[in-house]
Structure 1
Amino acid sequence: MTKKKKAYTFRKFTNDIHLWMGIGSGIILFLVCLSGTFLTFEEELKALTVKEFKVENTAKQKKSFETLFTNLSQEGSINRVTVPDDNSKPLEFNIKTSPKERRGSTFYVDPYSGNYEKAQKSYLDGFFMTMFKMHRWLLLDTKIGRPIVGVATIIFLFLAISGVILWFPKKWKWKAFKPGFKIKFSANWKRINHDLHNTLGFYACIFLVIMCLTGLCWSFVWYKDAGSAVLGAKVFGNRGGGQTINSQVTNENEQIPVENILSIANDIFDYEGKTTITLPKTATDTYSITKRKVSGWSPVTSDKLIIDVDGTVLKEEWFNDKPLNVQIASLIKPIHTGQIFGTFSKIIYFIACLIATSLPITGTIIWLNKLKKKRKRKLKK
């Protein structure tokens, strides 16, 4: 009697798609996920390698911004100043030290003594820049690497979804579900490897899907535009927003000190937070202020003000008052990187990225073990 061929089921189809997509993109996904794992705590790791600038004597009276501006003007053109939420922390000045410098350099300033120091470079800067380039375009030319990473991300999205489908047992009973929630360390190494792939992949899945859906915004313009259309708000729309409202003041005598501008901002945003003041560069510019409540539900959300040089509030924008779709569109980057809820979400993302890095390895081992089984069966026949 001839054996009946097993029907090619949806589960078998899903398994084949999962297998061959994983094999085809495994190396790329490993590199992208590995670099993403390192980048999760980039700022924290770099901070450990540089000497902290300390504020010496908080008992003294703070120097005026005008005095500090005068002292720092020799370093270049001052773009903005960031006032911390803690008096024991230094002010941060962003200064364009040369015409060629695009983003400016950070200078730490003691507001009591006036002493300042240019932010030190970490010896990890080069390493993390390499990780960034690997994560975004595999160290290739951006025109080549970016779409490759984008396609690999789409594949990873399908792998995550198909992986969840395969995680569900054929029989929907608790006894069948139970093994999928834990790793059986008492079993042989093949079973442990299978559980590492199956169970850890299941737990990390939701975070990996979020990373994929948001990460594609950097790979494809059409995807970013489609996301903007779906959300009804422009993704990355807050980039380069700057000062768009012109000053109405023509008399220089009506201009008030920066201290007063800061006081007005603190009166409106009456909470402890980190305040950044972007200075007017021309006679028609205004002050642009953003304030972040570091201890709030999300340390990356900010409220914004546009204030004229005479102290007139021209625009007031509270993050929590924005429609949900606008909030989501403006938070795509921190949602992708795990910064959205501070250290808590970063830890979760770090673990999820670490799991994602292991999946191509454990998946390949599962495939090789199955190949060995098939060869043994053929030899027996």
Structure 2
Amino acid sequence: MKKNNYSLRKFINDIHLWLGLASGIVLFLVCFSGTILTFDDEIKALFTDKVAIDASVSEKASVASLIQTLEQSNQGYITGLTLPSNTDVPYEFSVKKDLKERRGSQVLVNPYTSSVHSVEKTRADAFMMSMFKLHRWLLLDIAVGRPIVGIATIIFLVLAISGIVLWFPKKIKWKTVKHGFKIKTNANWKRINHDLHNTLGFYACVFILIMGITGLCWSFEGYKDLLGRIMGTKIFDRTSTEFEIPKTAENDIISIDEALAIANTTLNYPGELSVSFPNKKNNYYTFRKSNDNNWSPVTRDNLYMSLNGTVLAVEWFKEKPLNVRVAALIKPLHTGEIYGQFSKIIYFLACLIATSLPVTGTIIWIHKLKKKKKKKKL
């Protein structure tokens, strides 16, 4: 009577193999597009016309006068503004031709010469949008592509966890474990391919897990809500802060330049300052500022100000509860923006490795099939 040699490790190996083969093409496309999207802004910037700024030419014009210039040039409704921390970068105005538009467009203005530069869409923008659609829903209809990507992401999480288990040898000793940390470059191509899959997969698995756990928030609303309940706060909370503001007399309304000065005085540190102008829904200014000296370029403090210059509230990012801070960082944790260029490079390499795993894994499987066929013939 033959013994049953089907062990738990063999079961995990089969799960890893067949799930990997079943999702290989989808995972390759999602990871490939994700690799490119890591440097989304940088790629777009390469193909965008630069606006030369010479700070020594003259003094800066007031923001009020720049807004007047934009209105006279019939750019549209001005809904917001971003002031850079560097003097050689133009101001960026958010403009909508129709207030019903969701996002609108950006217009760059030289604060020293008041020259207006509309940001035109380039081929790079179209290409990156294609990569975005490929990454999020495989260029398919959203209702079809989004769940497919979500299911593939779940599979990738299972593959990452099972891959970590399989990375460890049956007998865990330093002599056997240490081989998993390096690629044997002087071996034959089959061994090199195996090491590329095994070793590189091990190094990238932590980042794959982070990207997968956070990425599911865009695929499944139920998952996002469940994660929010577990964390005790909303994920992607876009609700507006409500204030009871008495009607402001015309004479008491301050200028935009005065409002910016108050905001910079309250948020007293160097950094990029963005402001959303009052509208029918929210009759107050909303300021967001990032600290150039902070550990992360994506953390921002918020300030709310009435039309007469009264500071309604200040939300300091570092003073928010831990769960709220983590929830606010879901997107930069997924995209790699969390630590700026340093983390982007790490994420780029991790995504590149993740893109290679379905390829190297399939080659390993094909090689094993060939070996089995040879044994049967013998």
Would the TM-score normalized by the shorter structure come out above 0.5? yes
1:351, 1:189 → 2: CA distance? 22
1:189, 1:85 → 2: CA distance? 51
Verify the 8 A CA contact 2:33 2:132 in the aligned structure 1. yes
Give the secondary-structure state (helix, strand or coil) at the position aligned to 2:296.
Answer: coil
2:89 matched residue in structure 1: 89
Verify the 8 A CA contact 1:75 1:95 in the aligned structure 2. yes
1:210, 1:217 → 2: CA distance? 12
Verify the 8 A CA contact 2:273 2:288 in the aligned structure 1. yes
1:269 matched residue in structure 2: 267
- Counterpart of 1:170, as a letter, is K
2:58, 2:366 → 1: CA distance? 69
Verify the 8 A CA contact 1:243 1:288 in the aligned structure 2. no
Distance 1:20 1:284, change over 3 A: closer
Give the secondary-structure state (helix, strand or coil) at the position aligned to 2:144.
Answer: helix
Give the secondary-structure state (helix, strand or coil) at the position aligned to 1:75.
Answer: coil
Q: Deviations over 1:209-245 (max 9, x none)?
A: 00000000000111001100111110001x2x44633
1:282, 1:209 → 2: CA distance? 42
Pair 1:79 & 2:111 matched: no
- Counterpart of 1:252, as a letter, is E
2:159, 2:100 → 1: CA distance? 44
Q: Structure 1: give runs of 5+ residues left out of the alignment.
A: none
- Counterpart of 1:23, as a letter, is L
2:373 matched residue in structure 1: 375
- RMSD of equivalent CA atoms: 1.5
User: 1:270: Cα distance to partner?
Assistant: 1.0
Distance 1:174 1:29, change over 3 A: same
1:366 matched residue in structure 2: 364
Distance 1:8 1:18, change over 3 A: same
Distance 1:136 1:203, change over 3 A: same
User: 1:69: Cα distance to partner?
Assistant: 1.2
2:233, 2:99 → 1: CA distance? 34
Distance 1:59 1:244, change over 3 A: farther
1:246, 1:66 → 2: CA distance? 27
User: 1:123: Cα distance to partner?
Assistant: 1.6
Verify the 8 A CA contact 1:338 1:349 in the aligned structure 2. yes
State the identity as a percent: 55
Give the secondary-structure state (helix, strand or coil) at the position aligned to 2:60.
Answer: coil
User: 1:54: Cα distance to partner?
Assistant: 1.7
Q: Deviations over 1:165-214 (max 9, x none)?
A: 00001111100001100000100000000000000000000000000000
1:296, 1:82 → 2: CA distance? 19
User: 1:56: Cα distance to partner?
Assistant: 3.2
1:367, 1:260 → 2: CA distance? 67
Deviates more, 1:163-172 or 1:61-70: 61-70
Verify the 8 A CA contact 1:56 1:110 in the aligned structure 2. no
After superposition, residues 224-303 of structure 1 pair within 5 angstroms as 224-237=224-237, 239=238, 241-242=239-240, 244-245=242-243, 247-282=245-280, 285-303=283-301
Distance 1:284 1:125, change over 3 A: closer
- Counterpart of 2:19, as a letter, is M
Q: Deviations over 1:96-131 (max 9, x none)?
A: 023564311111111121111111322211111111
1:10, 1:75 → 2: CA distance? 66
2:195, 2:67 → 1: CA distance? 60
User: 1:247: Cα distance to partner?
Assistant: 3.5
- Counterpart of 2:366, as a letter, is L
Q: Deviations over 1:76-99 (max 9, x none)?
A: 100001111012211110010235
- Counterpart of 1:341, as a letter, is Y
Give the secondary-structure state (helix, strand or coil) at the position aligned to 2:123.
Answer: coil
Verify the 8 A CA contact 2:248 2:308 in the aligned structure 1. no
Verify the 8 A CA contact 1:290 1:304 in the aligned structure 2. yes
1:44, 1:295 → 2: CA distance? 21
Verify the 8 A CA contact 1:58 1:88 in the aligned structure 2. no
- Counterpart of 1:231, as a letter, is M
Give the secondary-structure state (helix, strand or coil) at the position aligned to 1:370.
Answer: helix
- Counterpart of 1:216, as a letter, is L
1:80, 1:246 → 2: CA distance? 22
The match for 2:329 among 328, 331, 339 is 331
2:88, 2:124 → 1: CA distance? 26
Pair 1:309 & 2:307 matched: yes
Q: How high is the TM-score relative to the length of structure 1?
A: 0.96
1:105 matched residue in structure 2: 105
Q: Structure 2: give runs of 5+ residues left out of the alignment.
A: none
Distance 1:72 1:322, change over 3 A: same
| Number of residue equivalences | 376
2:316 matched residue in structure 1: 318
1:207, 1:201 → 2: CA distance? 10
- Counterpart of 1:353, as a letter, is C
User: 1:347: Cα distance to partner?
Assistant: 0.4
2:201 matched residue in structure 1: 201
- Counterpart of 1:45, as a letter, is I
Pair 1:7 & 2:10 matched: no
- Counterpart of 1:281, as a letter, is N
Q: How high is the TM-score relative to the length of structure 2?
A: 0.96
Verify the 8 A CA contact 2:30 2:138 in the aligned structure 1. yes
1:104, 1:293 → 2: CA distance? 26
2:244, 2:120 → 1: CA distance? 36
